[in-house]
Structure 1
Amino acid sequence: MDFRLLGEIEVRSEGRSLDVGTPRQQVVLAALLVDARRPIALETLVDRVWGHDPPANARPVLYAHLSRIRGLLRQTAAPGGGAAARMERRHAGYVLHIDPELVDLHRFRRLVERSADRRYDDEARVAVLAEALGLWRGEPLAGLSGAWAARVRASCHRRRLDAAVWWAQAEFRLGRPAGVISLVPDLAAEYPLAEPLECVLIQALHAAGREAEALDRYGVVRRRLAEELGTDPGAELTAVYRTVLGKGPPRTPGAAAAPRTTGPGPLRPWAGASPSDSEVARRPADPLPAGAAESVGAPSGAGARAPARTAVPRPGSTGAPSPPGHHDGAATDPASGRSRVRTTRRRVLLAVLVTVVLPAATGTAHVLRREAGERDGSDGPRVSVARARELFAAAEAFDEAGRARDARAAVMDAVRMWDELIVLDPDRGAPALAPAVLRALGRAGVDFSVPRTALLGWLGNPVHTPYPAISRAILSRGWRFTAPVHLDAVVWNYEHTPGVTSPRGVADVRTDVLKAAVLENTRTRHGTRVTEFDRLLRP
């Protein structure tokens, strides 16, 4: 028995393909499969099938689809009796009882997550990621229309891009550039703005002695970024180019024993971010939320960039990635004297931020609108991104100075500017601020259990993911948690609340549902029995 969503929807039983019905019925089936073992409210199913414009007879039509799906599931019964999947109606909605391993989408996600296990070496990681990528048969939910199907597809593509880059990097580290050269070009054609994918392909061409092709590839990517995004290649792609030219340190494919051994990657700005994003990402004293994996080379979405930042294996390890949350100060600088100098410089910078930057940056929401109107379409938003980043930095300085009230005010001002940037220029404003937002969330006690680069990609995508809206809601309310709250788990809990739609703006976030999602996360992650939300907050 096999339920397939990574391509045209298929249900196969005993080697034969079953009739999955009309496109509307396929949407209903896909909705049940994506949220397997969880109740889905009838209103949510209506929204996923028809969006905001359901017909007057939506419920009777939906009941008919559900009835036919029950008949389809009965055909999956094993010869000895018992169905591979069954649907049940509960008070909270409809539940599809099924082993997730029977659904290719869930198998794909599990394999990608398994590849990040620190116990895996690169050989095992390559095998797991190759198996995951082999599950793809085409466009996920092919032929299905609607906003919900589009969101599922976007999420699948982000995970596939992550998996493809991690696979290619592992192959490269194992000294097998030929495999990368043969398979990555087709993937790069599907994700033309994914710089990490281009980085590993150019490195592989260079390692194989095909320097001319590597240089030509870089030129093609540079022109594409300029034409489609109006930006230059990121820090890592530029470094790879200089290496091919012989102007940088060599990057050998056999560097697998070094720190680059894990799937989840570092904080990396998106395409369209200003050059200072890379500097923000490389600051050695940036606080990292627990759960952040810090190896080099994972993607953060289309056009992702990768400033050089590496993780150091734990003492006695064999090159396996550090566990979530591990951060060794030696990774920044092995010389303690230089570390003290950097700490001193940072304190001076914080003092400047507190005394100079914040007064200059406060009250900038109206300035943002004025500048956006006075300048051309690219200059105004860029200036505003810099100012919003200054506000986040000022809040960090206030935090370190023990001035909690001032820190909260600065964060709220920064979030207001973030809202404005999403309206004015969502493709550049949100991705450029994602690193600063992630640090602000970390100071508020918000952690995560997904790869750091994936979370940065989601935070920079306000159109297709709820992460920016829910993050702005948390920061704007000034919540600071006593125990780590996992943002990805909170978002998942929020979106799977019956009768709730996925938010795209702060105004769409229901405070009661958000509090309940946080409480559920603390119960499942930390085993707490707290029932009052306020008890989770710092005084």
Structure 2
Amino acid sequence: MGGRVDFRLLGEIEVRSAGRPLDVGTPQQQVVLAALVVGARKPIALEALVDRVWDHDPPASARPVLYAHLSRIRGLLRQAAAPGGGTTARIERRHAGYVLDVDPELVDLHRFRRLVEQGADRQRDDEARAAALAEALGLWRGEPLAGLSGEWAAQIRASCHRRRLDAVVWWAQAELRLGRPTAVISAVPDLTAEYPLAEPLECVLIQALHAAGRGAEALDRYGVVRRRLAEELGADPGEELRTVYRTVLRGDPPPPGEAGAALRTAGPGPLRSRAAASPPAVAHRWADPVPVGGGASVGAPSGVGARTAARTTAPRPGPTGTPSSPEVPLGHLAADATDTSSSRQRVRTTRRRALLAALVGVTLPAAAGSAHVPRRDESDGPQAASVELARELFAAAEAFDQEGRARDARATVMDAVRLWDELVGLDPDRNGPPLAPAVLRALGRAGVDFSVPRPALLSWLGDPVHTPYPAISQVILLRGWRFTAPVLLDAVVWNYEHTPEVTSPRDAADVRTDVLKAAVLENTRTRHGTQMMEFDQLLRP
């Protein structure tokens, strides 16, 4: 009987055959392998593989190098299947790209997702949910894709951490409902050290301390968290945490898991902490107080929530107080060491506040130098303030363009687009329409115009649920494309959607760059009568 082949991504990348680790090659080869394993049984376009290895800046030899990596990975898979002809995995070349044909149950990440989805299923009883979540958390061996660099690997890591945090909170809630606060007290403190600003995690720990008769410790814990939030974010605890605190003070805790809206929502999709700090470089292994087996994290939710699932982890302030996050990186301000202009400082401060406001979900106090950002009462809500901040970012990018500061303009508009994406993911009907005019102006500066009536285009740009316009516009702006001759956005979208075997995207991550480039080229040929065959010929230097 043949041996089992296992693919492990929740830690250093491993391929094990019958329990024996195999050589997975260089970091570049590991990125290719990880991309195929993450997308198991789904085609990955060659260009997507190139982007994931070289971060959208491939060398001239990218394709031959990639083919070499694929050849070596095929050899690795043959070696993995050799002992007795056991479970096999193979790479297939299809029209839409390369596919790793492997049972997802042989991949720890996919088991992680499946088990967390089971733990989030409210149709199951709490015992079954707690067991599934514990098994999922038991799969965590360390930092996902450890040792791999690049934007794609960072996004996968951030998504895994977000899902892990969801799973921990849901597991703790189930344990509390089962009357087992000691299990929560034993396991959760280690996780709060990794996610020091994750308020849902602190909520369940404080509830567990109180349920175990340790009310004084629960109150002290609240004080520690309150001070930490004030020092690192300049913010007070959120309503859920304050509700738990008040119930502890009264000595009359609510039923477990009923502290507030965030804790009551144990269905699929990420629990949004107001500030879940980026995890350290090496994550501690989950020490589960209940029996564990294999596991997964919440699968990426479909629809609108999918665009926010991988961006709900707020950055930990760096040594100078400037947030840094592999998940939503701030664009780099090309600041000269002697440049102390007030406009630069205002934009830098605004960008910090915008990113934190979007990711943390809290309205921060107006910072010095941010005179153009209006103060808002709490009744206006954090999203309304974040919309204003996004507008400020788009306006700052436009000002940089007018001053001829192209690098600063590009960095700022990228931050604005990421915030726009976050906001429409939270509430498309409320946040999409007011930002559409600013998006349209940014597209105009990039050399994108339109042939349909402006009101129609603004409506489409404000509707990420039913149209591909926001997703395609985000890719254009995030890539920093600036066209030498204007292209029609509506014609580009039409060309994209009418490409055979291509689905209409609703999220920037779903936009196929090769198809989008071809759509732009086709519009340029039709509109301007050019014979250009290379996309880069359309771009300004």
The answer to whether the aligner puts 1:177 opposite 2:181 as a matched pair is yes
Query: How far does residue 381 in structure 1 lie from its aligned partner after superposition?
Result: 3.9
2:244 corresponds in structure 1 to 240
Amino acid at match of 2:137: L
5 Å-filtered alignment, 1:195-214, equals 195-214=199-218
CA 179–477 in structure 1, closer or farther in 2 if over 3 Å, else same? same
Contact 1:8 1:141 (C-alpha < 8 Å) held by counterparts: yes
- Counterpart of 2:169 in structure 1 is 165
Are 2:176 and 1:193 aligned?
Answer: no
- What is the CA-CA distance between 1:56 and the residue it aligns to? 3.0
- CA separation in 2, counterparts of 1:132 and 1:442? 36
Residue equivalent to 1:8: 12
Shift of 1:119: 1.8
Partner of 2:61: 57
Residue 440 of structure 1 is matched in structure 2 by 430
The residue number in structure 2 matching 1:329 is: none
Show structure 1 runs of 5+ residues with no match: 273-289, 305-367, 394-411, 444-472, 522-539
Identity of aligned residues (%): 63
Residues in 2 aligned to 1:234 and 1:174: alpha-carbon distance in whole angstroms: 26
Deviation (angstroms), 1:192: 1.0
**1:459-513 deviation digits (Å, cap 9, x = unpaired):** xxxxxxxxxxxxxx997525769xx86x9xx89xx89xxxx99677498897355
- Structure 2 SS opposite 1:233: coil
Aligned residue in 2 for 1:270: 274
Distance 1:504 1:237 in 2: 38
Specify the code of the residue in structure 1 equivalent to 2:132: V
> 1:251: which partner in 2?
254
Opposite residue 11 of structure 2, the aligned amino acid is: G
Measured after TM superposition, the shift of residue 165 of structure 1 is 0.8
Q: How does 1:27-46 map to 2 (within 5 A)?
A: 27-46=31-50
Q: Give the C-alpha shift of residue 20 in structure 1.
A: 0.5
Q: Is the 8 A contact 1:171 1:179 kept in 2?
A: yes
Q: How has the CA–CA distance of structure 1 residues 124 and 6 changed in structure 2, closer, same or farther, with 3 Å as cutoff?
A: same
Question: Quick one: structure 1 residues 266 and 105, their matched pair in 2 at CA, closer, same or farther if it must change by over 3 Å?
Answer: closer
Counterpart check, 1:140 vs 2:144: yes
SS at match of 1:237: helix
Which residue in the other structure is 1:322 paired with?
none
Which residue of 1 is the match for residue 368 of structure 2?
376
Letter in 2 for 1:135: L
Of 26-35 and 90-99, deviating more is 90-99
User: 1:291-310 counterparts in 2 under 5 A?
Assistant: 301-302=312-313
Larger mean CA deviation between 80-89 and 125-134 belongs to 80-89
- Matched with 1:119 is 123
Q: How big is the shift at 1:423? A: 5.6
CA spacing shift, 1:475–1:34, aligned 2, 3 Å: farther
Equivalent pair of 2:117/2:268 in contact (CA under 8 Å): no
1:525 — aligned with what?
Answer: none
User: Match for 2:427: what amino acid?
Assistant: V
Secondary structure of the structure 1 residue equivalent to 2:23: coil
Report the equivalent of 1:451.
none
Q: Distance in 2 between matches of 1:417 and 1:479?
A: 18
Note the 1:313-332 alignment, pairs <5 A. Answer: none
Q: CA deviation at 1:441?
A: 7.8
Q: CA deviation at 1:110?
A: 1.5
| CA deviation profile, 1:174-201 (whole Å, cap 9, x unmatched) | 1111010000011111111110000100
Secondary structure of the residue that 1:52 maps to in structure 2? coil
Mapped to 1, the partners of 2:93 and 2:421 lie a distance apart of 41
Match 2:77 to one of 73, 76, 90: 73
| Secondary structure in 1 matching 2:206 | helix
Residue pair 2:37, 2:107 contacting (<8 A) in 1 also: yes
> Which TM-score applies when normalising by structure 1?
0.58
Q: CA deviation at 1:40?
A: 1.8
Matched, 1:511 2:493: yes
Q: CA deviation at 1:114?
A: 2.2
On the 8 A contact 2:372/2:392 being kept in 1, the answer is no
**Residues in 2 aligned to 1:20 and 1:501: alpha-carbon distance in whole angstroms:** 35
Give the partner amino acid of 2:22: L
Structure 1, 431-440 or 6-15: larger mean CA deviation:
431-440
Which SS does the other structure have where 1:38 is aligned? coil
Counterpart contact for 1:74–1:83, Cα < 8 Å: no
Cα displacement (A) at 1:264: 4.0
